[in-house]
Structure 1
Amino acid sequence: MTNTWFITGASRGLGLELVRQLLERGDTVTATTRSPERLLAGLDGADTSRLQALAVDLADEEQVKRAVEAAGDIDVVVNNAGYGFLAAVEEVSDAEARQMFDVQVFGVWNVLRAVLPSLRARRAGHIVNVSSILGLTAFGGWGLYCAGKYALEGLTESLAAEVADFGVRVTLVEPGYMRTDFLRTPSIGLPTSTADGYPAIREMTAAHLAMPGTQLGDPAKAAAAIIAVAAQEKTPLHQLLGSDSYGLAKARIAALTEDVEAGRELAVTTDVG
């Protein structure tokens, strides 16, 4: 059975691999990107007759609406667009923070507003929001990226509860490190100026910029996993991808449980009466 897919952030990495595999399967794809030319170049040799490659600014609600209308009856939505940013919290400018949320939160919200009326009316469809293991846990120097992904996690969990009775499935995909261009410019942002006193963040940044080619995750396998998730009738809300992501999630659960229990004695004293 073939499906019609709507995918954002499709010209690199996981998004590009997902489009490639879907076209090989015979599915129909509308893919949004800042550069349709780069997307098509990345698909060199593939049959692109069932592909619409659209230049869309996800922060522009009208552009998103037109793209969704052009896609027709969509079966699977993949909100994949995003980029990283490495900086201490105080080093992130207002403009940099707003730009990140435009892509990772408000851009997703624009897509959701555009697709949900049709999915609800048809009582079918699957929304896949690509988060990150950094939507479940956080590290120094990743504050801006984590803020966007944590927001996406909350938005998606609420969405899943709202549309369950309409037959619309929702999945959060939480990858670990993958061998993509995510840690290369322009997929990774750096602060325009740095503050004194953060040597650990400078070391972490240098280590991450040297990481490409050594990550555990295979984007081709990750794309295949997303396709498999979309084909299943019942899936977990949170789908981790990568052994590193799984390990970090388990550690986060253990640390959170310990923290909650450490605060229990004070917590129960604030009830009325």
Structure 2
Amino acid sequence: MSIPDDRPATWFVTGTSRGLGLELAVQVLERGDNLAATTRSVERLASALAGRVDTAKLLALEVDLRDAAAVAGAVEQTTARFGALDVVVNNAGYGFLAAVEETSVDEVRDMLDVQVVGVWNVLRAALPVLRNQRSGHIVTVSSVLGLTAVPGWALYCAGKFAVEGISEALAGEVADFGVEVTIVEPGYFRTDFLTTDSLGLPAATSDGYPAIREMVQSHLELQGSQLGDPVKGAERIVAKVVDGGGPLRLILGSDSHAYATAKVEALQANLDDARDTAARTDHATLAEGVSA
């Protein structure tokens, strides 16, 4: 178990005013645990939680995750208010759907500042606490598009591929301190992720990518009929943290499992194809030593 069983756990969760983050916030508070919930709008979070759950153990924090000092201050407020920090969930993010050619430098920087730099800021602020107490659990909400890429999602995939790499490395770095790491890989969940409020679109488009335009329209029309249930998704995340242990990755959704399986099969086919040729670039003497 990566959280205490003799007192309420303290969770620090980013991106809590909607979607999977909101459902996670509700379930953490329903457990009677403490919650530091970051959001871009405290008012929107309060409205979303109103009437659903007792907020006595909620610390709502309006934080720009791109601001390292602000993030560090939020972690300090959390430990000052609750006297502990046990679970850190990097959940904040947004989608972006465009061809690579259509994606501007500012759109790239904005996405990666939130999805990569923001995650890193949270980790830098929280890790000294977890490492010194030699316990805790870090959850990175990635996506199946952190494992595989499809046309139109290049920028979103770039960010999610990055946090997958960060989290894999981190898991090895903190294991000896009793800190667990989990990477969550959801498929399409029935949140507002595919609405124009959450889904970034390019400032300028090209006539050369009609398939991308069709994909954008089909995704907007998919809103409300996605396969995944965010309540069940949050339940799985909470259970993974409470139980502790298990695999590094938590796959959520049969669609996510299918996409990930296809990627593994394609990668295996690639490895099989390269089995007899990969060693041709090895230094001859070193290669002989390895084979021996």
Moved more, 161-170 or 233-242: 233-242
Structure 2 counterpart of 1:210 = 221
Q: CA deviation at 1:202?
A: 1.0
Partner of 1:63: 70
From 228, 233, 241, give the equivalent of 1:230: 241
Residue in structure 1 matched with residue 112 of structure 2 by the alignment: 101
Aligned-pair CA distance for 1:94: 0.6
Secondary structure of the structure 2 residue equivalent to 1:265: coil
The alignment's TM-score, normalised by the length of structure 1, stands at: 0.98
2: CA distance between counterparts of 1:53 and 1:235? 31
For 1:120 and 1:145, locate their aligned partners in 2 and report how far apart those are by CA, in whole Å: 30
Given that 1:11 and 1:33 are in contact with CA atoms closer than 8 Å, whether structure 2 keeps it comes out as: yes
**Which residue is 2:140 aligned to?**
129
Asked whether the equivalents of residues 59 and 103 of structure 1 are also in contact (C-alpha less than 8 Å), the reply is: yes
The structural deviation recorded for 1:264 is 2.9
Q: What is the match of residue 44 of structure 2?
A: 38
Q: 1:6 and 2:12 equivalent?
A: yes
Query: What letter is aligned with 1:240?
Result: I
Q: 1:268: Cα distance to partner?
A: 1.6
2: CA distance, partners of 1:40 / 1:23: 13
Give yes or no for the alignment of 1:177 onto 2:184: no
Q: Which residue of 1 aligns with 2:289?
A: none
Q: Residue 8 of structure 1: CA displacement?
A: 0.2
Question: Is contact 1:171-1:235 (8 Å) kept?
Answer: no
Matches for 1:1-273 after TM superposition, within 5 Å: 1=5, 2-45=8-51, 46-72=53-79, 73-273=84-284
How far apart are the structure 2 equivalents of 1:104 and 1:192?
Answer: 19
Partner Cα distance (1:185, 1:71) in 2 = 32
- Residue 287 of structure 2 corresponds to none
User: For the residues of structure 1 that align with 2:154 and 2:233, how far apart are their CA atoms?
Assistant: 25
AA in 1 matched with 2:50 = D
Q: Secondary structure at the match of 1:22?
A: helix
Tell whether the 8 Å contact from 1:86 to 1:205 is kept in structure 2 after alignment.
Answer: yes
SS at match of 1:10: coil
Q: Please list the CA deviations of residues 175-198 of structure 1 after superposition, one character each: whole Å capped at 9, or x if unmatched.
A: 000000000122100001111221
- For structure 1, the 5+ residue unaligned runs are none
Return the alpha-carbon distance in structure 2 between the equivalents of residues 246 and 163 of structure 1: 27
- How far residue 61 of structure 1 moved from its aligned partner, in angstroms, is 0.4
Deviations 1:35-70 (A, max 9, x none): 010011000112111001111000000000010011
Question: Which consecutive segments of 4 or more residues in structure 1 shift more than 4 A?
Answer: none
- Quick one: distance in 1 between partners of 2:57 and 2:214? 45
**Matched residue count:** 273
2:273 and 2:100 map into 1 onto residues whose CA distance is 27
**Letter aligned with residue 19 of structure 1:** A
Which structure 2 residue ranges, 5 or more long, are not aligned?
285-292
Q: CA deviation at 1:171?
A: 0.3
Percent of residue pairs identical? 61
Cα deviation, residue 21, structure 1 = 1.1
Could you list the per-position Cα deviations for residues 151-203 of structure 1 after superposition, in whole angstroms to 9, with x for gaps in the alignment?
Answer: 00000000000000000000000000000000012210000111122111111
AA paired with 1:56?
Answer: V
Distance 2:248 2:103 in 1: 31
Q: Helix, strand or coil: the match of 2:222?
A: coil
